[in-house]
Amino acid sequence: MGWLQTGVFLLVAASALGVVRTKDPLAQSVAVSFYGLVLALLFFLHQAPDVALSQIVVGAVALPLMILLALSKIHAQDEERKQAGEEERK
Amino acid sequence: MRTFLITAGAAGLAALLVWGLSGLPPFGSYPGPYGEVLNSFAVGERKATDVVSAVNFDYRAFDTMGEEFILFISVAGAALLLRKVEEEEHDSQEESESEDRQPGRAAPPTSDAIRAFGVALVGLTVLFGLYMISHGQTTPGGGFQGGVILATAPLSVYLAAEARTFQRIAPHDLVEWSESIAAAAYVVLGLAAVVGGAEFLRNVTPLGEEEKMGSSGNIFWLNLGVGVEVAGGFVLLLSVFIREALERRLRRESK
Amino acid sequence: MSPGFLAYAVAAFVFLCGLWGAATSRHLVHMVICVGVLQTSTYVLLLAIGQKAGGVAPVYYGVPHDLTAVDPVVQALMLTDVVVEATVVALLLALAVQAHKHAGTLDPDALPRLKG
């Protein structure tokens, strides 16, 4: 294994830990995107271009997008709930 | 308490994993014969230069059918979970009307730069997605990757603040129908071989010439179907997540 | 242990990371992402297993057809795995959104028990 491959393997481990340690889901969506790109780089360096491509579209585009959309939906539900609570108090 | 439990459990699992993994063949010396056999036969037998695609859509096409239906069912499940009941929809419509009038609630209008860039990106995205799908058997790529790329085209239209256009280019019924038909086409192509007296999913279409678009028989057609299905599935998934925002925006545009 | 063992070690480490994150999570969306990370460990493991010293990618476009290439079967498995991860995360996120709608919270400990 060359030093480049070794380095990317270590980077994968570090970014996985980083994603898990990020407690705020909003920040996590960015971390997941980065992690997806690092994984794609790893696949590319290890002769797996097919998997690298699908990892890019899934890990760096589709996953963060779905997380952001889910968070915005949750935020909208929170607002609605708050509004309903205020109306009850009136 | 919980941290202690998970730490102890994880330590045990880590020891087991290291023990198990150290029994694997050393890195870089894969011993399995299947890969070798496929690498030496796939190009001649199926005219497919991308052996990974050949494995996915020909030699193990049955597994990919399962994968496709996992995707189909989970999209249907997510759409079902996020679907709003008619009554609820009525309620929240009134609420969001009042929300719209609250200060700071309405999103600022999208800038012209984002509009222009978003619309300009659509043609490129569609072209790249179609290229990816139609060349799955020759170069890396295929239906799954190309499908997701295609699905981002309506999304960039949505991000460019053309809510009405989003509905026009990706009407819900059309997306739903094309997704279902593409998923069914996989099975139909598989059954075509059975009608001819061969095994399910055996190649029935002409193999063509290697390194050319449309070669490799079934691999090309299955990629095409999967591409449409994945694109439809992702657009459907995105539209159920953004439906409320979309409705709000449509109302504002119609005012 | 050979120096190549690093690849397997990284797979195990990523798996444990995801597991630890999911078990100690206080937020359902965070938990879903941790499960996604856990699943990525299988890609690293499969990638490491299929390697062959000096092997090229199993794509014979414009190259001689008798080159030694890495194993295409594990790559096909990885491809399936990546797509399935996306759909699993989508479904879990939809479940999290729905749980939040009914319970008003995303803390897994504060969720009410299932009612029949």
Domain count, chain B: 1
Which of A17, A53, A61, A72 to probe by mutation at the B interface, max B CB count within 10 Å?
A: A53
ipTM summary value:
0.89
| B105 in a structural domain | no
What mean pLDDT is reported for chain B? 81
CB C28 within 8 A of CB C106: yes
Can you give the residue ranges of every domain in chain A? 3-89
Q: Among B137, B128, B140, B138, which residue's Cα sits nearest to residue B231?
A: B128
| B192 in a structural domain | yes
CB B24 within 8 A of CB C49: yes
pLDDT in tens, B218-228: 888 899 999 99
Instruction: Calculate how close chain A gets to B140, using CA atoms only, in Å.
Output: 5
> Domains of chain C, with CATH numbers?
7-58+66-103 (1.10.287.3510)
| B28 in a structural domain | no
Does the pLDDT of residue B98 top 70, yes or no? Answer: no
| B194 in a structural domain | yes
| B98 in a structural domain | no
Does the pLDDT of residue B104 top 50, yes or no? Answer: no
Task: Say how far apart CA A87 and CA A85 lie, in whole Å.
Answer: 5
- Residue-range definition of the domain harbouring residue B127: 37-80+110-254
pLDDT in tens, A24-81: 999 999 999 999 999 999 999 988 999 999 999 888 888 998 898 888 888 888 888 8
CB A60 within 8 A of CB C84: no
For residue B1, the tally of other CB atoms under 10 A from its CB is: 5
Task: Say how far apart CA C91 and CA C85 lie, in whole Å.
Answer: 10
Which of B52, B56, B57, B210 to probe by mutation at the C interface, max C CB count within 10 Å?
A: B52
Q: pTM of the predicted model, to two decimals?
A: 0.86
| B15 in a structural domain | no
Amino acid at B18: V
pLDDT in tens, C12-49: 999 999 999 998 888 999 999 999 999 999 999 999 88
For residue A31, the tally of other CB atoms under 10 A from its CB is: 21
Q: Which residue of B has its CA nearest to C53?
A: B28
